[in-house]
Structure 1
Amino acid sequence: MKNAKPHALVSWIGNADLKAISSTEAEGQALGPIIATLKAQAFDSVELLYSYPEDQVKPYLAWLQEQVSISIHSHAISLSSPVNFGEIYVQANQQLSRLSAKGFKLSILLSPGTPAMQAVWILLGKTRYPCQFYQSSLEQGVKQVDIPFELSAEYLPAAKSIKSAKIRQLAEVGAPINAAFDNIVTRNPYMQSLKAQAQILAEHEVPVLIYGETGTGKELFARAIHNASRRANRPFVPINCGAIPTELVDSVLFGHKKGAFTGAISDKPGVFEQADGGTLFLDEFGELEPSVQVRLLRVLQEGVFVPVGSTREQKADVRLITATHRNLMEAVAKGNLREDLFYRVAVGVLHLPPLREREGDLVLLADSLVKAMSVRDSTLKHKKISSEAKNLILQHPWRGNVRELQSTLLRAALWCQGDDITAADIRQALFHLPEWNNDLMNKDVSKGIDIQGIIGEVVRHYIRKALQQSGQNKTRAAQLLGLKNYQTLNNWMEKYGVK
């Protein structure tokens, strides 16, 4: 046995592993998948990849070395995101290539890490580096996994050939800077009438209010209006009002002077000054607090504003386009939006329909988006959507509208094998959100119920909705939920396991 290859276990370090240090259990899965696997199977060494901060990982590595006698080798990996397939592929391939060149027998632990990390392990282990796969779970313990399919190395996904920076560019779903009305792809009669209305509005200097769900193309319309207007050669400045911390709204909108508050180390222009002579696009306009609405109204009425920390008025010549998914008339009725401000911004109004109501547009848009990807990167130039995949696309509700459709098609195009994007590729790329249980108030108490579980289900549902509504702004989400502050929200999120 002296000539036997040394056996190495390769794994990402996951959150459950890092929590192992504080575990009160002496044995088993409470100590995390990595150590559970090392105790259950014999290896000569373990190779660990991690993208967590050093101060979290170093104590874990020291603790792990105390638990096992084999060699532990750790590798800090820089990732822009734990779900960036391109970066994960490059890093994982580099580590497996190095170990393979040294003559190691390889085993990969799939359990720790994100689904993207697990997918890349399977891809590499089934095409380039023969290995054994292991999984470790609380319910089933440590098991060797048989993955019952083969991949051809000749048909490795496009993600392998595309650089990470290019994948990030392809994933950007914002409207192009030079957006024109021709970029709005539709054959739907209502959408065509909206394009005609928007073209008329572009010729005038009136404020425009755009209604629509998230991902329906509000910024695309706003940029097309700007680019077709007399202000086309001047700045277009977009800002998401729902993502601005409450305490910084005045500074973001109107700018500030050096020393105006802690951290104001220099003068900084606000978006009104940046957009002077051009167009200011206020997305999620309905999120602005009433106190800010007063100052915004003055700018629109008089064309002047005062930066934070200044006493001198500045002028701003700005064409305003606002967008929201909220019912602003209802907000006016409830006193959450000033009526005079509403009528100031709602001169030209466009109601963008959700994708599910744009009859005849879904397949047309899907083909157009794939074609746009192929233009932006030659690796994707032959990709096309199969008939079966198009039927599956037509069946999906697309709650995230065009944005969700584009993201799904990109995932499918990057990982499909060959040029045809199949129904299986689309199915794998889709995120299936669980349906909200509308029967929570009608459970049969006589058979016993889990009241704490029901409360937790309700809390998790509405916390996620509030975070989505606020653009992940915890202060605003706490307000929407009637909680005192973001720290209270943090406590609830921790208690009920909301990430």
Structure 2
Amino acid sequence: MSQQTVLVIDDERDIRELLTITLGRMDLKVDAVGTVAEARRALADHHYDLCFTDMRLPDGSGQEIIELIAAEYDETPVAMITAYGNVDAAVTALKAGAFDFVSKPVDIQMLRRLVRTALKLAEEKRNGVTASSATPGSGDRLIGDSTVMQQVRNTIGKLARNQAPVYIAGESGVGKELVARLIHEQGPRATGPFIPVNCGAIPSELMESEFFGHRKGSFTGAVADKEGLFQAAHGGTLFLDEVAELPLHMQVKLLRAIQEKAVRPIGAREEIAVDVRILSATHKNLAALVDQGQFRQDLFYRINVIELRVPPLRERRGDVPLLADFVLRQLATKSRSDAPARLLPEAKQALEDYDFPGNVRELENILERAVAMCDGDRIDASDLMLPQRPQRHGAEQPGAAGHAAHHAPAGGFAHAHPPTAPAPASTPSSELGLDDYISNLERTAIMKALEESRYNKTAAARKLGITFRALRYKLKKLGID
């Protein structure tokens, strides 16, 4: 195998020499030039496995080099060398197609990790290894043949080939974490860790310790050193789900960690370099939160280098039968059934007509409930127990009801909790979502049947007109002991 070659473009002799020595020790051949003109000639005359370019050059900018390589030498990963803290230049470079960026003064260990990742990517491109083939079967989990889902899969393949931060937008339940995981698995970091974290699930006072770690004795209860999420994701990907839930004080600290590629554990004197790709997501409108002053604009700018929107299920209704079949097969495997339950034609139609405010997660919950309630292995429309769609008025657009119900628990009444006070049986309370209202009615009916049958579950199920298995499922889901 021939020696791999790197092109370094920087007008500072010290930087050229530093990179030449460092890369030479990695058994790489280095060509170093100081201007855009020299770089153009070198790229035209030689093939390079990797390129580093400074942002400011005597006869132009590194941005020109990045755009040239993206257009004419797209098999060559290129990294921007930026001035300390110049995040704007780094973001612009990433959007133009840069693989990653390096800040001055150059951290040698970080540089070596970047080079290894970039050369692995270049080798995969040379050998014709596509994003989807790099991890056999991984793309199969993103179910759907619709045009929008084909576009999502194609975009995932492209995003997997660089290190730019990606912001995944989409409603609750559309599969944002799955998309993030596929971007990770299909890229050069696939052998590294994938660390997902729900930012809304961490108490505010524990966030800094959770993200950056702490040293023993740094605060009451710190009985040992603890590794943070950034350190755990070193060499891989950190997925920040529901990033909109981060309080402002943590947004500042997160921005610094992303920009400097380093974290300081609580109680530590020095920062620790971390090599992490950041993917983030939320079901909220992050741009609107920026306008409202609830999310920092500089952090939004940093994590939203590339945005990928995952469509809601109502925008790809044709994928519902495929998804339903996949879920039913999974449920059969989980329960060790001989064969998966089957949807009767009217049940399939009911699913395709439904708006799914909870998206794929809601579909999974509906089918799990239906499998528990159906007789035998045949699911009809009544087994689905889909909530009645509210009446639409005026010029309301299709799917608006789904947006209105967006924050209700997904999956119909399967995940609802008892309200503190029952709503009247005649009309849903304005204080309750539709799912909670239906759950309350079910709970009342089940409790009445249990009392009348002296808590004989078989007799109670008979009174309710459902199977014993269905009653047992409802008792568990509704939390009735």
TM-score, structure 1 normalization:
0.50
**Distance in 2 of aligned mates of 1:209 and 1:196:** 16
Partner of 1:393: 351
**TM-aligned CA deviation for residue 334 of structure 1:** 1.8
- SS of residue paired to 1:379: coil
- Do the aligned partners of 1:179 and 1:227 also contact (CA within 8 Å) in 2? no
Output the amino acid matched with 1:215: G
Q: Does 1:312 align with 2:270?
A: yes
Change (3 A) 1:459 1:380: same
Q: Does 1:252 align with 2:210?
A: yes
Partner of 2:304: 346
Change (3 A) 1:421 1:350: same
Q: Does 1:404 align with 2:362?
A: yes
Output the amino acid matched with 1:331: L
- SS of residue paired to 1:281: strand
**TM-aligned CA deviation for residue 203 of structure 1:** 1.0
**TM-aligned CA deviation for residue 408 of structure 1:** 1.2
Q: Cα deviation per residue 1:293-323 (whole Å; 9 max; x = unaligned)? A: 1111111111111112222211110011000
For structure 2, which runs of at least 5 residues remain unmatched after alignment?
A: 1-134, 395-423, 437-481
For structure 1, which runs of at least 5 residues remain unmatched after alignment?
A: 1-176, 439-452, 465-499
- SS of residue paired to 1:204: coil
Partner of 1:230: 188
Of 304, 308, 313, which aligns to 1:355?
313
**TM-aligned CA deviation for residue 255 of structure 1:** 1.2
**TM-aligned CA deviation for residue 393 of structure 1:** 1.4
Of 176, 195, 200, which aligns to 1:242?
200
Q: Does 1:293 align with 2:220?
A: no
Change (3 A) 1:361 1:303: same
**Distance in 2 of aligned mates of 1:306 and 1:223:** 27
Partner of 1:205: 163
**TM-aligned CA deviation for residue 459 of structure 1:** 5.3
Change (3 A) 1:412 1:196: same
Of 261, 277, 301, which aligns to 2:219?
261
- Do the aligned partners of 1:179 and 1:224 also contact (CA within 8 Å) in 2? no
Change (3 A) 1:178 1:273: farther
**TM-aligned CA deviation for residue 269 of structure 1:** 1.1
**Distance in 2 of aligned mates of 1:350 and 1:303:** 23
Partner of 2:382: 424
Change (3 A) 1:435 1:255: farther
Partner of 1:13: none
Output the amino acid matched with 1:393: L
- SS of residue paired to 2:162: coil
**TM-aligned CA deviation for residue 461 of structure 1:** 6.1
Partner of 1:181: 139
Partner of 1:280: 238
Output the amino acid matched with 2:298: D
- Do the aligned partners of 2:328 and 2:340 also contact (CA within 8 Å) in 1? no
Change (3 A) 1:459 1:406: closer
- SS of residue paired to 1:210: strand
Change (3 A) 1:376 1:458: closer
1:431-446 map, 5 Å: none
Output the amino acid matched with 2:180: A
Partner of 1:169: none
Change (3 A) 1:388 1:330: same
Q: Cα deviation per residue 1:438-484 (whole Å; 9 max; x = unaligned)? A: 9xxxxxxxxxxxxxx9xx9555569x9xxxxxxxxxxxxxxxxxxxx
Partner of 1:469: none
CA RMSD of aligned residues (A): 2.9
- Do the aligned partners of 1:383 and 1:421 also contact (CA within 8 Å) in 2? yes
**Distance in 1 of aligned mates of 2:229 and 2:294:** 23
- SS of residue paired to 2:317: coil
Q: Cα deviation per residue 1:191-239 (whole Å; 9 max; x = unaligned)? A: 2111101110001111111001110000110011110011111100000
**TM-aligned CA deviation for residue 380 of structure 1:** 5.6
Q: Does 1:218 align with 2:176?
A: yes
Change (3 A) 1:435 1:312: farther
Output the amino acid matched with 1:421: I
- SS of residue paired to 2:318: coil
**TM-aligned CA deviation for residue 288 of structure 1:** 0.9
**TM-aligned CA deviation for residue 391 of structure 1:** 1.6
- SS of residue paired to 1:389: helix
Output the amino acid matched with 1:328: L
**Distance in 2 of aligned mates of 1:204 and 1:236:** 16
**TM-aligned CA deviation for residue 265 of structure 1:** 2.4
**Distance in 2 of aligned mates of 1:233 and 1:224:** 13
1:35-184 map, 5 Å: 180-184=138-142
- SS of residue paired to 1:340: helix
Identity of aligned residues (%): 43
- Do the aligned partners of 2:331 and 2:340 also contact (CA within 8 Å) in 1? no
Q: Point out which structure has higher relative CO (alpha carbons under 8 A, 6+ apart).
A: 1
**Distance in 1 of aligned mates of 2:266 and 2:388:** 45
**TM-aligned CA deviation for residue 386 of structure 1:** 1.1
Output the amino acid matched with 2:170: G
